[in-house]
Chain A
Amino acid sequence: MDGNFNPKWDDLIQPGRVHGSLYYDEAIFKEEVEKIWFKTWVYIGHESEVPEKNDFVTKSLGPMPVLMARDSNGEIQLLLNRCPHRGNAVCVQDKGNRARFTCPYHSWTFANTGELINYAFPEGYKGTDKSSLGLSKVTRVASYRGFVFGSMAADGPTLEEHLDGAKGSIDLLCDNSPTGEIQISAGFLKHRTRANWKFILENECDGYHPAFVHSSIFSVSDSAIGDLYGDAAVAVTRSLGNGHTEVDPRPEFRRRDKPLSWFGTTPDRLPDYVRQMNEAYGEDRARQIMIDGTPHTMIFPNLFIAEIQIFVIQPISATESVQHSTAIQFKGAPDINRRLRQQTMGSVGPAGFLLADDTEMYERNQRGLEIRQPEYLYLKRGEHRERRDENGYLIGHSTDDLPSRAIWKHYREMMEDK
């Protein structure tokens, strides 16, 4: 039989249709952990979360916790919080500042580079090679403009190869900061969700739902988001390669031709920010940046840059996930930062005007799949109007299922080890 022919995947993932079991089967979930989460580049955290030497913060890689630390040389370390002796946790704090971690069980002590410094009563370990008994680490660590990613695979594409078209989204985001740097400093809301992680992943660039799921808030506030996702919208969805997807509203914002319209405000309301942007980039470039705004990009499998906030998707089991969300902050721009936080707090998290209802949909979808007919989910919207943009990326209407199709194509390649 042809080694590439895998009837299971031909059956589960078909053009424009995916099988419901992909969202509830625990065996498939286990396979995803190995073939996706412990293989590809996964977003871990941002360098600004550990600003000082010896700072650390607990993050995750898939269902597994990871300590992100800045060691005494200023390097970022991704340590696995499992004592090599008998498996205890060497750290039970969410965050802090420490150069060393001592395991409470038998007092083995590790540097924040992972190295085993010493163990209690060393006579008992005569002749032992300490260097092989350090904390394990995430196999590869790389960062792009402060965004730290980890991969458990020794080989594979570099982070920049993996990011492909999504690199431009991170650049676009950072360009909106007058210092070219963003900060993740406000702490995360953690939203527990009884649904498969892929429902969240696919929803992030689904421009079909906002008009309905969020009509309650659109109808009582003067939010301009609603217009981006109507039938007449000129915003597009795009596949950026490697499962990364975006909704690109720039055609709409360029038509409006108003700086900061993307943020629902005007330059006179944020004078310091506008002045800083003009000084940093020159007036023409600053104006263009402030018209285009920040990206709406889902970086496969777990980092969603949602204009003014980020979401980190954490899978727990086939039927449970956590959405971690926080406001993006532009380094050195306090006036816009307050608005970024206020708008984010209103929108996201368990009590958010938007995310409470998105999450309600994920959970209803999940329960819906307990009804076993029809077996497949239907993802064909806009298949007939997909086209290539000037860079060769597939684009479609902002309400099309193009992002889902792109995600499933990449998913299948990963699950088939292609």
Chain B
Amino acid sequence: MSTDVAEIEGPDILKEWVGKSRVYEKSFNPQLYHEVQQFIFREARLQDIHDYDAWEELWTDDALYWVPANGTDTDPEKQMSLIYDNRSRIALRIRQLKTGRRHSQTPPSQLARVISNFEFLASDTDDIKVMCNTQIFETNLRGDTMWASRNEYSLRRVDGALRMAYKKVVLINNNKAIYTLSFLV
């Protein structure tokens, strides 16, 4: 990838929500763009239809699944997060869902998510770093809920196929009181 990059910073007053500055990739690789997009669309579909095993297989062994609270770039080793799962806790989350007795997912949420605004970040490793926006419509026994997030991924090629090493989901309202979020976000 090109090193032709631009730094984007947010206004000071929104620092907590914009997060730290990120270096975006300016060059465009249509093939990679297509491949990454297809991967993330598939991930979204597996989440929407609750295909837990297939979703779990997307992760690498050193995976980190992070849904921060109260800001974008909080310190997960100091502050509470909604989800801060290493690989074994991802597995536990999936095992719980698969018991069929995870009451907040019994019946499972009916979901459709829309993903857009893909942007590549400069990466100093072989990992592919990409950001995108997601809107999720959820309906369950309680009623209808809209979720919106800014997501950040590190994807890695393992035996030729893309895998997720890192997924961070920054809910836009993560500083507010939010309803139960027990589907895979």
A positions within 8 Å CB-CB of B? 94, 185-194, 213, 215-217, 219-221, 322, 325-327, 338, 341-342, 344-346, 349-351, 353, 356-357, 359-361, 363-364, 367
Which residue on A lies nearest to B142, using beta carbons?
A: A363
Which parts of B155-178 form the interface with A (CB within 8 Å)? 175-178
Q: Which residues of A contact B178 (CB under 8 A)?
A: 190-192, 350
Query: Residues of A contacting B69 with CB < 8 Å?
Result: 187-190, 349
Q: In whole Å, how far is B97's beta carbon from the nearest beta carbon of chain A?
A: 8
Q: Determine the residue in chain A with the shortest Cβ distance to B91.
A: A220
Contact of A191 among B77, B79, B180 (CB under 8 A): B180
Could you list which residues of chain B lie within 8 angstroms of chain A, going by C-beta atoms? 67, 69-70, 74, 77-84, 89, 92-93, 95-96, 99-104, 141-142, 175-182, 185
Complex Cα spacing A186 to B82, Å? 12
A322–B101 CA distance with the chains assembled, in angstroms: 24
Given that A186-B78, A190-B178, A359-B180 are known contacts, is A351 also in contact with B103, CB under 8 Å in the complex?
A: no
Query: What separation, in Å, do the CA atoms of A338 and B100 have in the docked complex?
Result: 31
- Please count the residue pairs between chain A and chain B whose beta carbons lie under 8 angstroms apart in the complex: 105
> Residue on A with the closest CB to B89?
A346
Least Cβ distance of A352 to chain B in Å? 8
Contact flag A350-B181 (CB < 8 Å), given A187-B70, A216-B96, A220-B96? yes
Contacts of B185 in A (CB 8 A): 351
Contact partner of B80 among A189, A356, A360, CB < 8 A? Answer: A189
Determine whether the beta carbon of B103 is less than 8 Å from that of A338.
no
Question: Which of A185, A194, A341, A345 has the largest number of chain B CB atoms within 10 A?
Answer: A345
Chain A residues within 8 Å of B181, by CB: 350-351, 356
10 shortest interchain CB distances as A-B pairs:
A190-B177, A216-B101, A192-B177, A220-B95, A360-B104, A356-B182, A350-B181, A216-B99, A356-B104, A322-B177
Q: Which residues of A are found within 8 Å of B89, using beta-carbon distances?
A: 346
State A356–B179 Cα separation when bound (angstroms): 9
Contacts of B84 in A (CB 8 A): 342, 345
Choose among B79, B81, B103, B176 the residue that contacts A190 (Cβ–Cβ < 8 A): B176
A250 and B95 CA atoms in complex are apart in Å by: 31
